[in-house]
Structure 1
Amino acid sequence: VDKKVKPVAGTMPEEARVIRQFPEDPLASLPPLSPIVPDFVPTAKLTAERMEKININPDGYLWPEEERLFLHILQVNEKSIAFQDSDRGTLRDDYFSPYIMPVVPHAAWKEPNIPIAPGIKEKSSYRSRWFCVLKKNGDLRIVHDLQPLNRVSIRDAGAPPIMDDFVEPFAGYRCYTVFDLY
């Protein structure tokens, strides 16, 4: 950590800029909500066990009708929820261009690593070091040493959004994020 390598300062290439566009109104294709909300029935993706893990209304903040509506909205939009890596998708190319990671000209590196059994080793033009650290609960966390990648990556100098402006409209409301659901 004391030898931290930061991305290279440089101009973001034009072909690496993310293009954001809305070819159609995404809200126009939302399925209409029925004024009478049906009771939740578990599906293959939204099983009773998974819904128990999500724990939608732990302290009773929502009224029973609101909780049923929330469950119904989750069920209607279950394709957008990922419980495992195979469920994850990508953003549609007609809304966002694919992300290109710009780098400066460089030679591919192959850093030595802990030996891997030949039966599971794959060939790659890049190979970075990794190591494990012990978590508080005793599990191991893999840490990838990406300092060589940072040496050749061009820093994206785009300013992040001002968090106060982003968060203020949600004051006083409960919000679930992708981090809560996956």
Structure 2
Amino acid sequence: MSTIWYECKVKYRKTDDTGLQKITTEPYLVDALSYTEAETRINEEMSAYISEEFKITNIKVANYAEIHPFENADRWFKSKISLLAYDEESGKERKSNMYLLVQGNDVKEAYDNTTSVMKGTMGDYTIPAISESPIMDVFPYFSGEEGEIEQLEKFNTLKASKLETDKGEEIVDPMEFETAIEEVSI
């Protein structure tokens, strides 16, 4: 069964670097089976990050064939891949496009990451476009089964890895949320 990604836009009050609060709308991706499940999942995921009130303003099916997080990368890029096939009946070359969401720090790194993802492809392809995506974060679905827990940990480790300078100092992303674990007494 193929993965269906839903782009969910979330509107909330955000505090900027100067301490001022402003209302912002940001897109996030969730893996879900339906619009209803996508709404439920984005509510669960965002309530872990946003303590105040937020509103889901839009949910739509995203046209990404695959999502690829990479280590030490902090932004998401949309890579357009044109798969080339030869139509024997008409004698013409046909192109079919697909889109990948790849993590990188800049367009060059996103291009390199896209080519590494496509390395095992048997057919011919070109990469006609790579652009920075407004997607803030990606929330894949994992059922909790033993094999998938390892997958989830690997995905989150890659997604959350920090970029370091030559001196070993960590570069802090101002757009990154701090995750806090609350203790609940029963």
TM-score scaled by length of structure 2: 0.22
More helix by share: 1
More strand by share: 2
Bigger radius of gyration, 1 or 2? 1
TM-score scaled by length of structure 1: 0.22
